[in-house]
C-alpha cells in the first residue's frame, strides 16, 4: 500500500531512479505492479477476447485496498466511457484492452484527448478480426495514430512497468493533460516471465491533483458554474467551426509540449545504439529485442550496423530520427503487423526516404526470428550494390 508518509513527499525521483528489487514476473504482472505504485483512484475492466490477466490482477489490488473503486463493465466502449466519466470527476484512472477491444472502444479515444483527460490505458496488442485472431501483432497501433492520444511502445516487461508510471507523469502535466496509451506486444511481453527491477511497494506516485488541470473539474465546485465540458458540437457556422478547429490545434500543441516531459522522465523519445553506423535497424516494441539479436549476428560477421529504439510513437521523434539517420545509407524497419505503419511514419519523416525498407513484417501470431531481419538487411545491401554497379 502507498504509505501516507511517502505520499506527502516528492517520491518521483525515488520511484524512477531509486533502489529497486529483483522480481521474476510476467508483463501482465508488471502492469499490476505499476498500477499498485501509481496511486490509482479507480479502474474499470472488461474481459473481451483477448484480454490479458492484467485487469484481474488490478481487481485483486482493489480487493486489497490499493484502489478505491473497480468494476467489470459490459463492453469495451462502456469501459472507456466510464473511465472517461471517472476522469471527468477529477480522479486518476486506469484500464487496459487489446485488439478487437481497442477497435470496439475506438469512439472514445479521440473523446479522451478532446476532453483533455490524463487517462492511462495499457494496450496488450493483438490481432484484429477477420479472420479472428488472438495472436500478437500491433496493427491496432496504426489505427490509433491520429486519435490525439500520446503513445508509448514498450519493448519488454521492464519497459511496460516503467512506461505506465512515466505515462501518468507525462499525462498529468498541466501543459499536456492528455491521455497516454502504453502499448506492448501481446503474449511476447504480457505472458512472458522475465527478471525485472521494481521499486519498493510503498514507493508511489503522489496523488493526482485535479486543481492543476487546464480544464475545469466536472464536480460543480469550480466557478463559473456554467460549464459544458465538451467543445461545441453545433450546427455548422463560423463560430462553432472555429472553436472546434482551435480546440483541435490545442490538443495537437499539447502533444508537442509533451516532448520535453518525455525527454525528462524517459530519457528521450528514442535510443540509438552505435550512432556512427551507415546501416540501421529502426523498430519499436518487441521488434527491438529481435533487432538487438540481429545486430549481434551482423556485428559478429563484421558488419557495422546500428539500432534505433523508438519509444514514443506519439509524439513521433521526427527531428531526432532525421538527425540520427543523417549519414545512414539504409534503414530497415521490422514490424509485427501487416500494414507497416512504423515504416510509413519514418518514410514520412526523413529525407531521401528510399533508404527505408519496410521489412520484415510478421503478423497473425508469427514470430520474427532475428535471421529474418539479417536477411532483409543483406537483401537490401545486395540490391543497392547491384544498382550501384549499373
Partner 1 sequence: MSKKIITPVASLAHILPEDYRDLVEKGPHGKSVGIKDLGSFKEITEEHPHCAGCGVSLGVRLALAALPAPEDTLVVGTPGCSFFALSQTAVNYSNTAFGNQNSVASGLKRMLSIRYPDKDKDVVVMAGDGGIADIGLDMTLHSWFRGEKISTIMLDNEVYGNTGGQESGMSPEGQVLHMAPKGKNFKKIPVFEMARTAGCVYGARVTIASPKRLGRAVNRAILLARELGPTYVQIYTPCPTNMKFSPADTIRIAKEAGSTHYAFEEFMTEEAALRIAVMEGEQGKIQD
> Which residues of the chain form contacts with partner 1 (CB under 8 A)?
41-42, 44, 68-69, 71, 73-75, 77-79, 81-91, 93, 107-108, 111, 115, 216, 218-230, 233-234
Looking at beta carbons only, is 63 or 300 nearer to partner 1? Answer: 63
Looking at beta carbons only, is 224 or 302 nearer to partner 1? Answer: 224
Smallest gap from Cβ 40 to partner 1, in A, equals 11
Closest CA to 318 of 282, 278, 279: 282
Looking at beta carbons only, is 223 or 389 nearer to partner 1? Answer: 223
Residue indicated by cell numbers 502492469: 31
| Cell numbers describing residue 168 | 501518468
> DSSP letters of 115-165?
TT---EEEEEE---SSS---S---HHHHHSTTSS-EEEE-SSHHHHHHHHH
Looking at beta carbons only, is 117 or 291 nearer to partner 1? Answer: 117
What is the chain's Cα-based Rg? 21
Smallest gap from Cβ 231 to partner 1, in A, equals 11
Closest CA to 157 of 267, 17, 18, 24: 24
Looking at beta carbons only, is 218 or 247 nearer to partner 1? Answer: 218
Looking at beta carbons only, is 67 or 163 nearer to partner 1? Answer: 67
Looking at beta carbons only, is 33 or 41 nearer to partner 1? Answer: 41
**Contact call for residues 88 and 35 (beta carbons, < 8 A):** no
The angle, 0 to 180 degrees and rounded to 10, between the axes of the packed helices 370-389 and 286-300 is 60
The angle, 0 to 180 degrees and rounded to 10, between the axes of the packed helices 157-171 and 27-36 is 30
Pairing of strands 279-283, 305-310: parallel
The three-class DSSP label of residue 380 is: helix
Smallest gap from Cβ 77 to partner 1, in A, equals 7
Looking at beta carbons only, is 114 or 358 nearer to partner 1? Answer: 114
Q: How far apart are the C-alpha atoms of 88 and 102, rounded to whole Å? A: 21
Looking at beta carbons only, is 109 or 160 nearer to partner 1? Answer: 109
| Cell numbers describing residue 18 | 531509486
Smallest gap from Cβ 327 to partner 1, in A, equals 47
Q: How far apart are the C-alpha atoms of 10 and 197, rounded to whole Å? A: 21
Residue 12 half-sphere exposure toward CB, CA atoms < 13 A: 13
CA distances from 123 to 40, 166, 202 (A): 17, 15, 26
Smallest gap from Cβ 187 to partner 1, in A, equals 29
Looking at beta carbons only, is 248 or 347 nearer to partner 1? Answer: 248
Per the omega criterion (within 30 degrees of 0), is the bond before 57 cis? no
The three-class DSSP label of residue 331 is: strand
The three-class DSSP label of residue 229 is: coil
Amino acid at each position: 500500500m502507498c504509505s501516507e508518509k511517502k505520499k506527502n513527499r516528492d517520491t518521483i525521483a525515488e520511484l524512477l531512479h531509486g533502489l529497486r528489487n529483483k522480481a521474476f514476473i510476467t508483463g501482465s504482472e508488471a502492469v499490476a505492479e505499476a498500477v499498485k505504485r501509481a496511486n490509482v483512484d479507480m479502474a474499470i475492466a472488461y474481459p473481451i477476447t483477448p484480454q490479458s490477466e492484467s485487469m484481474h490482477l488490478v481487481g485483486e489490488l482493489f480487493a486489497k485496498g490499493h484502489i478505491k473503486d473497480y468494476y467489470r463493465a459490459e463492453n469495451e466502449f462502456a469501459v472507456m466511457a466510464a473511465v472517461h466519466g471517472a476522469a471527468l470527476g477529477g480522479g486518476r484512472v486506469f484500464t487496459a484492452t487489446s485488439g478487437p477491444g481497442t477497435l470496439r472502444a475506438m469512439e472514445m479515444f479521440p473523446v479522451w484527448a478532446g476532453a483533455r483527460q490524463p487517462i492511462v490505458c495499457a494496450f496488450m496488442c493483438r490481432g484484429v478480426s477477420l479472420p479472428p485472431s488472438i495472436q500478437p501483432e500491433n496493427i491496432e497501433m496504426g489505427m490509433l495514430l491520429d486519435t490525439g492520444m500520446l503513445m508509448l511502445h514498450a519493448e519488454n516487461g521492464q519497459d511496460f512497468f516503467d512506461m505506465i508510471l512515466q505515462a501518468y507523469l507525462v499525462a498529468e502535466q498541466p501543459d499536456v493533460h492528455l491521455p497516454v496509451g502504453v502499448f506492448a506486444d501481446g503474449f511476447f511481453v504480457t505472458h512472458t516471465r522475465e527478471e525485472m527491477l521494481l521499486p519498493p511497494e510503498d514507493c508511489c506516485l503522489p496523488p493526482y491533483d485535479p486543481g492543476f488541470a487546464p480544464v475545469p473539474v466536472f464536480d460543480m465546485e469550480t466557478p463559473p458554474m456554467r460549464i459544458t465540458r465538451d467543445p461545441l458540437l453545433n450546427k455548422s457556422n463560423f463560430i462553432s467551426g472555429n472553436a472546434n478547429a482551435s480546440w483541435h490545434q490545442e490538443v495537437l500543441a499539447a502533444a508537442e509540449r509533451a516532448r520535453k516531459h518525455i525527454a525528462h522522465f524517459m530519457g528521450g523519445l528514442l535510443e540509438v545504439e552505435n550512432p556512427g553506423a551507415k546501416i540501421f535497424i529502426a523498430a519499436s516494441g518487441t521488434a527491438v529485442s529481435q533487432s538487438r539479436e540481429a545486430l549481434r549476428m551482423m556485428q559478429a560477421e563484421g558488419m557495422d550496423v546500428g539500432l534505433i529504439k523508438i519509444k514514443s510513437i506519439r509524439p513521433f521523434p521526427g527531428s531526432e530520427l532525421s538527425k540520427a539517420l543523417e549519414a545512414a545509407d539504409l534503414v530497415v524497419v521490422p514490424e509485427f503487423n501487416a500494414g507497416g505503419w512504423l515504416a510509413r511514419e519514418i518514410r514520412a519523416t526523413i529525407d531521401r526516404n528510399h533508404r527505408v525498407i519496410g521489412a520484415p513484417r510478421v503478423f497473425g501470431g508469427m514470430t520474427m526470428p532475428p535471421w529474418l531481419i539479417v536477411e532483409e538487411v543483406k537483401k537490401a545491401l545486395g540490391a543497392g550494390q547491384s544498382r550501384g554497379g549499373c
